[in-house]
Amino acid sequence: MAHDSLLRLFRPKSIAVVGASSAPEKAGYMAVKLLETFTGPVYPVNPKAGEILGHKAYASLSAIGKPVDMVILAVPAPACPAVLREAAKIGAPAAVVLGGGFGETGDEGQAIQDEMAAICNETGIRVLGPNTGGFADPVNKLVASFSVSFNRIPAGSIGVVSQSGAQA
C-alpha cells in the first residue's frame, strides 16, 4: 500500500506546472523546461500565457480538462493552499511544492504549511515539500524541479535521498 502511495508521486503519466512562466529567470520556467525529457503530457498553468516552451498554457488546473497525475507548484507560499485544493478537486493524486515561505519563515508561513497539511489529510493528495528542490528520476527521464543540476544526473543503479538543497 505504501508503495502504491509513493508511485502516485514518482511515476506520473501527466504533469501540470502551476506558476509556469515564459521568463527564464523564474522557477516556473525552469520547472517546465526540465520536463522536456518527460514522455507524458505537460500542462503549464498561467492565466496570462497562451503558450510556454511549446506547450499550450491553461488558465487553471480545472481548465485542463484531462487527467493530471502530478501538480508542480511554482507559486508564492500564500497561493499554495488554494492550488493544492484545486489539484485535489480535479483528482490529481500528487504534488510537488517548490520554493519557500512556509514554516521556516515564522508563524504566518507555519499557518500556510499547517493548512496544506490539513488539505493533504482531508483529501489524500501526496505532497513532496513544501520548500523542496523537487526530485529527479533519470531512469524514467523525469525532473520535477527548478534546479538545472538535476538534469545532469545520469541513470544508474544508485539512488540518493537528501534533505539538503545542495546537489552537484
CA 14 vs CA 34, 70, 105, 112, 136: distances in Å: 14, 7, 32, 27, 15
Q: Looking at the domain assignment, is residue 151 inside a domain? A: no
pTM of the model: 0.91
Q: Looking at the domain assignment, is residue 38 inside a domain? A: yes
Q: Looking at the domain assignment, is residue 30 inside a domain? A: yes
Number of domains in the chain: 1
Per the listing, cell 520547472 goes with: 31
* Alpha carbon distance 78, 81 (integer Å): 7
Q: Looking at the domain assignment, is residue 35 inside a domain? A: yes
Per the listing, cell 504533469 goes with: 15
Selection from 152, 144, 151 nearest residue 14 by Cα: 144
Q: Looking at the domain assignment, is residue 153 inside a domain? A: no
- Beta-bridged to residue 136, according to DSSP, are 143
Which has the higher per-residue pLDDT, 25 or 143? 25
**pLDDT of res. 168:** 47
Section 72-80 average pLDDT = 97
User: Is residue 1 very low, low, confident or very high in pLDDT (cuts 50, 70, 90)?
Assistant: very low
Q: Looking at the domain assignment, is residue 72 inside a domain? A: yes
**pLDDT of res. 150:** 64
Q: What are phi and psi of 48, to 5 degrees?
A: -100, -5
Q: Looking at the domain assignment, is residue 90 inside a domain? A: yes
What range defines the domain where residue 81 resides? Answer: 2-146
CA 154 vs CA 32, 38, 140, 142: distances in Å: 20, 15, 11, 12
Contact 92, 70 (CB under 8 A): yes
Contacts of 121 (CB under 8 A, 6+ apart): none
**Tens of pLDDT along 6-61?**
888 899 999 999 999 999 999 999 999 999 999 999 999 999 989 999 999 999 99
**pLDDT of res. 91:** 96
**Tens of pLDDT along 87-139?**
999 999 999 999 889 999 999 999 999 999 999 999 999 999 998 888 888 87
Contacts of 154 (CB under 8 A, 6+ apart): 138
**pLDDT of res. 139:** 77
Q: Looking at the domain assignment, is residue 165 inside a domain? A: no
- Check which CATH number belongs to the domain holding 102 and give it: 3.40.50.720
Contact 61, 83 (CB under 8 A): yes
Q: What is the torsional sign of CA 44, 71, 6, 101? A: positive
